């Protein structure tokens, strides 16, 4: 059924999860939705993280990415320590509203705490014996994490 025929035959409720216009995030048992941040320019996946209700709201209202850290159990603004903030150019929600996709302009060009552009700096290949092996890919460091995070 096309959007057109659906609209004509059965009007969609504004708060319908899949077809509506109301944001109704489906938070998990910990109050979180999964967030994928991609580089708005290249399309590279930079990181996968989480937002709670407040992080989602702050991101929508400020246009800069806020997340919820499961390990530190607190809200954090991306770049609050490193200065490498993420300016959100577009934000989308998925069909069942348990995942959010943000296209960002990554300040400093590095989203990963290891100093790389993306957290996904290793390709999964199959070795000679068929077993998986990780191969560094786009793994050049844009900054020295020891200096930036003062370890």
Q: Please check if 129 is assigned to a binding site.
A: no
Taking the complex as a whole, the smallest distance from the CB of residue 51 to a copy of itself amounts, in Å, to: 12
Angle (nearest 5°) at CA 35 between 101 and 80 = 110
Taking the complex as a whole, the smallest distance from the CB of residue 116 to a copy of itself amounts, in Å, to: 8
Q: Which is nearer to a copy of itself, 18 or 150 (CB)?
A: 18
Taking the complex as a whole, the smallest distance from the CB of residue 113 to a copy of itself amounts, in Å, to: 7
CA–CA dist 142, 26 (Å, integer): 35
**Is the distance from CB of 61 to CB of 50 less than 8 angstroms?**
no
Q: Please check if 125 is assigned to a binding site.
A: no
Q: Please check if 96 is assigned to a binding site.
A: yes
Q: Please check if 146 is assigned to a binding site.
A: no
Q: Which is nearer to a copy of itself, 80 or 90 (CB)?
A: 90
Q: What is the binding site for a copy of itself (CB under 8 A)?
A: 1-3, 18-23, 34, 36, 38, 42-45, 47-48, 60-61, 90-96, 99-101, 112-114, 116, 119-124, 126, 130, 132-137, 139-141, 144-146
Query: What are all long-range contacts of 23-28, with beta carbons under 8 Å and residues at least 24 apart?
Result: 23/93, 23/97, 24/97, 25/53, 25/56, 25/93, 25/97, 25/98, 25/100, 26/96, 26/97, 26/98, 27/52, 27/53, 27/98, 28/98
What are the binding residues for Zn(2+)? 95, 112, 119
């Amino acid at each position: 059924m096309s959007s057109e025929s659906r609209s004509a035959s059965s009007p969609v409720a504004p708060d319908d999860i899949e077809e509506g216009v109301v944001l109704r995030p489906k938070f998990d048992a910990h109050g979180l939705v999964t967030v994928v941040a991609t580089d708005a320019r290249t399309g590279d996946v930079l990181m996968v993280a989480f937002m709670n209700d407040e992080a989602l709201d702050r991101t929508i209202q400020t246009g800069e990415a806020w997340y919820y850290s499961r390990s530190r159990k607190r809200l954090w603004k991306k770049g609050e320590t490193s200065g490498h903030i993420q300016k959100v150019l577009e934000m989308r929600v998925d069909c069942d509203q348990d995942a959010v996709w943000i296209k960002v302009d990554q300040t400093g060009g590095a989203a990963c705490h290891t100093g790389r552009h993306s957290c996904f700096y290793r390709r999964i290949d199959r070795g000679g014996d068929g077993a998986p092996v990780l191969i560094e890919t786009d793994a050049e460091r844009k900054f020295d994490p020891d200096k930036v995070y003062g370890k």
